[in-house]
Chain A
Protein backbone atom coordinates (compact mmCIF):
# COMPACT_ATOMS: atom_id res chain seq x y z
CA UNK A 1 0.00 0.00 0.00
CA UNK A 2 1.32 3.41 -0.91
CA UNK A 3 1.68 5.86 1.92
CA UNK A 4 -0.17 8.75 0.27
CA UNK A 5 -3.23 6.97 -1.06
CA UNK A 6 -6.99 7.22 -0.76
CA UNK A 7 -6.99 4.59 1.98
CA UNK A 8 -4.70 6.54 4.28
CA UNK A 9 -6.91 9.62 4.12
CA UNK A 10 -9.97 7.47 4.77
CA UNK A 11 -8.23 5.85 7.75
CA UNK A 12 -7.42 9.25 9.25
CA UNK A 13 -11.03 10.29 8.71
CA UNK A 14 -12.31 7.11 10.36
CA UNK A 15 -10.03 7.60 13.37
CA UNK A 16 -11.11 11.22 13.82
CA UNK A 17 -14.77 10.18 13.51
CA UNK A 18 -14.33 7.50 16.18
CA UNK A 19 -12.66 9.92 18.57
CA UNK A 20 -15.45 12.42 18.01
CA UNK A 21 -18.11 9.79 18.68
CA UNK A 22 -16.27 8.75 21.85
CA UNK A 23 -16.26 12.35 23.07
CA UNK A 24 -19.93 12.81 22.25
CA UNK A 25 -20.92 9.67 24.13
CA UNK A 26 -18.74 9.85 27.22
CA UNK A 27 -18.07 13.50 28.01
CA UNK A 28 -19.98 15.23 30.76
CA UNK A 29 -19.30 18.82 29.85
CA UNK A 30 -21.52 20.15 27.06
CA UNK A 31 -18.63 22.08 25.52
CA UNK A 32 -16.57 18.90 25.30
CA UNK A 33 -19.46 17.27 23.46
CA UNK A 34 -19.34 20.20 21.04
CA UNK A 35 -15.60 19.63 20.53
CA UNK A 36 -16.29 16.00 19.64
CA UNK A 37 -18.95 17.16 17.22
CA UNK A 38 -16.40 19.41 15.50
CA UNK A 39 -14.07 16.41 15.15
CA UNK A 40 -16.83 14.42 13.44
CA UNK A 41 -17.57 17.29 11.04
CA UNK A 42 -13.88 17.60 10.18
CA UNK A 43 -13.64 13.88 9.47
CA UNK A 44 -16.62 14.09 7.12
CA UNK A 45 -15.09 17.01 5.26
CA UNK A 46 -11.76 15.24 4.95
CA UNK A 47 -13.49 12.22 3.40
CA UNK A 48 -15.31 14.41 0.89
CA UNK A 49 -12.11 16.13 -0.21
CA UNK A 50 -10.20 12.84 -0.41
CA UNK A 51 -12.81 11.18 -2.62
CA UNK A 52 -13.05 14.22 -4.84
CA UNK A 53 -9.26 14.38 -5.18
CA UNK A 54 -8.83 10.75 -6.13
CA UNK A 55 -11.85 9.97 -8.25
CA UNK A 56 -13.56 13.11 -9.51
CA UNK A 57 -12.38 15.18 -12.47
CA UNK A 58 -14.25 18.23 -11.15
CA UNK A 59 -13.90 19.27 -7.52
CA UNK A 60 -17.49 18.85 -6.33
CA UNK A 61 -16.27 17.37 -3.05
CA UNK A 62 -14.46 20.55 -2.13
CA UNK A 63 -17.64 22.60 -2.61
CA UNK A 64 -19.45 20.15 -0.34
CA UNK A 65 -16.76 20.52 2.29
CA UNK A 66 -17.15 24.28 2.06
CA UNK A 67 -20.85 23.82 2.87
CA UNK A 68 -19.94 21.48 5.73
CA UNK A 69 -17.59 24.08 7.21
CA UNK A 70 -20.25 26.80 7.00
CA UNK A 71 -22.85 24.45 8.52
CA UNK A 72 -20.55 23.44 11.38
CA UNK A 73 -19.75 27.07 12.14
CA UNK A 74 -23.44 28.05 12.22
CA UNK A 75 -24.33 25.04 14.38
CA UNK A 76 -21.56 25.62 16.85
CA UNK A 77 -22.62 29.26 17.26
CA UNK A 78 -26.17 28.20 18.10
CA UNK A 79 -24.99 25.41 20.39
CA UNK A 80 -22.68 27.75 22.29
CA UNK A 81 -25.51 30.25 22.68
CA UNK A 82 -27.70 27.44 24.06
CA UNK A 83 -24.96 26.34 26.44
CA UNK A 84 -24.45 29.84 27.82
CA UNK A 85 -28.16 30.47 28.19
CA UNK A 86 -28.57 27.12 30.00
CA UNK A 87 -25.67 28.11 32.25
CA UNK A 88 -27.36 31.41 33.08
CA UNK A 89 -30.58 29.62 33.99
CA UNK A 90 -29.35 26.45 35.72
CA UNK A 91 -25.79 27.38 36.70
CA UNK A 92 -24.28 24.23 35.23
CA UNK A 93 -23.26 22.83 31.87
CA UNK A 94 -22.83 19.22 32.98
CA UNK A 95 -25.23 17.39 30.73
CA UNK A 96 -26.25 14.80 33.33
CA UNK A 97 -27.38 17.52 35.74
CA UNK A 98 -29.63 19.21 33.21
CA UNK A 99 -32.63 16.97 33.74
CA UNK A 100 -35.54 19.31 34.45
CA UNK A 101 -37.45 17.82 31.50
CA UNK A 102 -37.18 14.35 33.03
CA UNK A 103 -40.52 13.22 34.43
Chain B
Protein backbone atom coordinates (compact mmCIF):
# COMPACT_ATOMS: atom_id res chain seq x y z
CA UNK B 1 0.00 0.00 0.00
CA UNK B 2 1.36 3.37 -0.93
CA UNK B 3 1.77 6.25 1.46
CA UNK B 4 -0.99 8.30 -0.12
CA UNK B 5 -3.45 5.46 0.30
CA UNK B 6 -2.57 5.16 3.98
CA UNK B 7 -3.11 8.90 4.46
CA UNK B 8 -6.37 8.69 2.52
CA UNK B 9 -7.66 5.94 4.78
CA UNK B 10 -6.68 7.93 7.85
CA UNK B 11 -8.49 11.03 6.60
CA UNK B 12 -11.57 9.01 5.66
CA UNK B 13 -11.66 7.31 9.06
CA UNK B 14 -11.25 10.66 10.83
CA UNK B 15 -14.14 12.09 8.85
CA UNK B 16 -16.49 9.19 9.44
CA UNK B 17 -15.67 8.67 13.12
CA UNK B 18 -16.01 12.36 13.98
CA UNK B 19 -19.23 12.44 11.96
CA UNK B 20 -20.56 9.68 14.20
CA UNK B 21 -19.39 11.58 17.27
CA UNK B 22 -21.38 14.61 16.07
CA UNK B 23 -24.62 12.64 16.20
CA UNK B 24 -23.87 10.57 19.29
CA UNK B 25 -22.10 12.75 21.88
CA UNK B 26 -24.17 13.84 24.85
CA UNK B 27 -22.67 17.28 25.28
CA UNK B 28 -23.58 19.66 22.50
CA UNK B 29 -20.31 21.60 22.76
CA UNK B 30 -18.36 18.37 22.25
CA UNK B 31 -20.55 17.52 19.31
CA UNK B 32 -19.84 20.95 17.77
CA UNK B 33 -16.10 20.39 18.13
CA UNK B 34 -16.46 16.94 16.55
CA UNK B 35 -18.16 18.66 13.64
CA UNK B 36 -15.09 20.88 13.36
CA UNK B 37 -12.92 17.77 12.95
CA UNK B 38 -15.35 16.50 10.31
CA UNK B 39 -14.97 19.76 8.38
CA UNK B 40 -11.19 19.35 8.48
CA UNK B 41 -11.54 15.79 7.20
CA UNK B 42 -13.76 16.87 4.31
CA UNK B 43 -11.23 19.60 3.49
CA UNK B 44 -8.53 16.92 3.36
CA UNK B 45 -10.70 14.86 1.00
CA UNK B 46 -11.08 17.98 -1.18
CA UNK B 47 -7.28 18.18 -1.34
CA UNK B 48 -7.20 14.56 -2.46
CA UNK B 49 -9.72 15.41 -5.17
CA UNK B 50 -7.51 18.20 -6.52
CA UNK B 51 -9.79 20.96 -5.27
CA UNK B 52 -7.28 23.18 -3.50
CA UNK B 53 -9.38 26.34 -3.63
CA UNK B 54 -12.39 24.52 -2.21
CA UNK B 55 -10.35 23.04 0.63
CA UNK B 56 -9.20 26.52 1.64
CA UNK B 57 -12.74 27.86 1.31
CA UNK B 58 -14.08 25.02 3.41
CA UNK B 59 -11.66 25.79 6.23
CA UNK B 60 -12.17 29.56 6.01
CA UNK B 61 -15.97 29.60 5.84
CA UNK B 62 -17.00 26.55 7.83
CA UNK B 63 -14.39 26.58 10.54
CA UNK B 64 -13.79 30.32 10.63
CA UNK B 65 -17.40 31.36 10.19
CA UNK B 66 -20.06 28.75 10.77
CA UNK B 67 -18.41 27.01 13.69
CA UNK B 68 -17.80 30.27 15.55
CA UNK B 69 -21.45 31.21 14.99
CA UNK B 70 -22.64 27.82 16.22
CA UNK B 71 -20.49 28.03 19.34
CA UNK B 72 -21.80 31.52 20.08
CA UNK B 73 -25.37 30.34 19.59
CA UNK B 74 -24.79 27.41 21.95
CA UNK B 75 -23.35 29.69 24.61
CA UNK B 76 -26.14 32.24 24.20
CA UNK B 77 -29.04 29.88 24.16
CA UNK B 78 -28.77 26.75 26.18
CA UNK B 79 -27.74 24.94 29.27
CA UNK B 80 -25.05 22.73 27.88
CA UNK B 81 -24.96 19.94 30.39
CA UNK B 82 -27.65 17.45 31.33
CA UNK B 83 -30.15 18.37 28.67
CA UNK B 84 -32.19 15.58 27.13
CA UNK B 85 -30.72 15.02 23.69
CA UNK B 86 -32.75 12.40 21.88
CA UNK B 87 -36.46 12.27 21.25
CA UNK B 88 -37.37 8.80 22.38
CA UNK B 89 -40.40 8.59 20.09
CA UNK B 90 -38.26 9.29 17.03
CA UNK B 91 -35.67 6.57 17.61
CA UNK B 92 -37.60 3.86 15.77
CA UNK B 93 -38.30 5.85 12.58
CA UNK B 94 -34.71 7.04 12.68
CA UNK B 95 -33.44 3.47 12.80
CA UNK B 96 -35.73 2.56 9.90
CA UNK B 97 -34.41 5.51 7.90
CA UNK B 98 -30.84 4.76 8.94
CA UNK B 99 -31.37 1.16 7.90
CA UNK B 100 -32.99 1.66 4.53
CA UNK B 101 -31.43 4.78 2.98
CA UNK B 102 -27.78 3.78 3.51
CA UNK B 103 -28.56 0.24 2.32
CA UNK B 104 -29.98 1.55 -0.96
CA UNK B 105 -27.13 4.03 -1.33
CA UNK B 106 -24.46 1.40 -0.70
CA UNK B 107 -26.05 -1.04 -3.14
CA UNK B 108 -26.22 1.62 -5.84
CA UNK B 109 -22.67 2.82 -5.21
CA UNK B 110 -21.14 -0.64 -5.26
CA UNK B 111 -23.14 -2.13 -8.13
CA UNK B 112 -23.60 0.69 -10.62
CA UNK B 113 -21.02 0.88 -13.38
CA UNK B 114 -19.74 4.40 -12.98
CA UNK B 115 -18.35 5.83 -16.18
CA UNK B 116 -15.01 7.25 -15.17
CA UNK B 117 -13.50 9.52 -17.82
CA UNK B 118 -10.19 8.30 -19.19
CA UNK B 119 -7.57 10.32 -17.41
CA UNK B 120 -10.13 11.18 -14.74
CA UNK B 121 -8.79 11.11 -11.24
CA UNK B 122 -5.58 12.96 -12.02
CA UNK B 123 -4.67 16.09 -10.16
CA UNK B 124 -4.89 18.99 -12.59
CA UNK B 125 -2.95 21.70 -10.81
CA UNK B 126 -4.25 24.96 -9.40
CA UNK B 127 -7.98 25.40 -9.95
CA UNK B 128 -8.43 28.97 -8.82
CA UNK B 129 -8.17 30.50 -12.28
CA UNK B 130 -10.66 28.06 -13.77
CA UNK B 131 -13.13 28.64 -10.94
CA UNK B 132 -12.82 32.40 -11.34
CA UNK B 133 -13.43 32.22 -15.08
CA UNK B 134 -16.43 29.93 -14.59
CA UNK B 135 -17.90 32.17 -11.88
CA UNK B 136 -17.68 35.32 -13.99
CA UNK B 137 -18.58 33.58 -17.23
CA UNK B 138 -20.87 30.60 -17.35
CA UNK B 139 -22.15 30.90 -13.78
CA UNK B 140 -22.55 34.68 -13.68
CA UNK B 141 -26.29 34.63 -12.99
CA UNK B 142 -26.12 32.14 -10.07
CA UNK B 143 -23.18 34.12 -8.72
CA UNK B 144 -25.16 37.35 -8.65
CA UNK B 145 -28.24 35.61 -7.24
CA UNK B 146 -26.01 34.22 -4.50
CA UNK B 147 -24.87 37.72 -3.57
CA UNK B 148 -28.50 38.84 -3.30
CA UNK B 149 -29.19 35.77 -1.15
CA UNK B 150 -26.31 36.60 1.17
CA UNK B 151 -27.59 40.17 1.52
CA UNK B 152 -31.09 38.96 2.34
CA UNK B 153 -29.72 36.47 4.87
CA UNK B 154 -27.77 39.28 6.52
CA UNK B 155 -30.77 41.62 6.73
CA UNK B 156 -33.12 38.80 7.69
CA UNK B 157 -31.01 37.58 10.58
CA UNK B 158 -30.62 41.11 11.94
CA UNK B 159 -34.39 41.66 11.73
CA UNK B 160 -35.07 38.32 13.43
CA UNK B 161 -32.77 38.88 16.34
CA UNK B 162 -33.09 42.58 17.13
CA UNK B 163 -34.91 43.84 20.15
CA UNK B 164 -37.78 46.27 19.81
CA UNK B 165 -36.56 49.61 21.20
CA UNK B 166 -39.62 51.69 22.02
CA UNK B 167 -42.74 51.92 19.94
CA UNK B 168 -42.63 53.75 16.67
CA UNK B 169 -45.40 56.19 16.05
CA UNK B 170 -47.53 55.19 13.08
CA UNK B 171 -46.35 52.59 10.65
CA UNK B 172 -47.07 48.90 10.92
CA UNK B 173 -46.26 47.21 14.17
CA UNK B 174 -44.38 43.95 13.86
CA UNK B 175 -45.99 42.10 16.70
Which residues of A are interface residues toward B (Cβ below 8 A)? 3-12, 14-23, 25-29, 31-32, 34-36, 38-39, 42, 45-46, 49-50, 53-60, 62-63, 65-67, 69-78, 80-85, 87, 93-94, 96
Contact = CB atoms under 8 A, between A and B. Distances in A.
B70 A34 contact: yes
Given A12-B12, A58-B130, A66-B131, A32 B28 contact: yes
A22 B98 contact: yes
A73 B134 CA distance: 21
Given A3-B5, A63-B134, A22 B78 contact: no
B38 A80 contact: no
A65 to B, nearest CB: 6
A75 to B, nearest CB: 7
A10 to B, nearest CB: 5
Contacts of B91: 26
A3 B8 contact: yes
Contact of B8 (A4, A46, A65, A83): A4
A32 B134 CA distance: 35
Contacts of A87: 76-78
Interface string B54-93: 1001100110011001101110111000011111001101
Given A25-B97, A26-B90, A35 B116 contact: no
B117 A56 contact: yes
Given A15-B102, A80-B70, A54 B139 contact: no
B1 interface: yes
A1 to B, nearest CB: 8
B117 A57 contact: yes
B156 A94 contact: no
A78 B1 contact: no
A77 B150 CA distance: 10
Given A17-B105, A26-B94, 6 more contacts: A6-B121, A46-B45, A69-B58, A70-B150, A74-B149, A81-B161
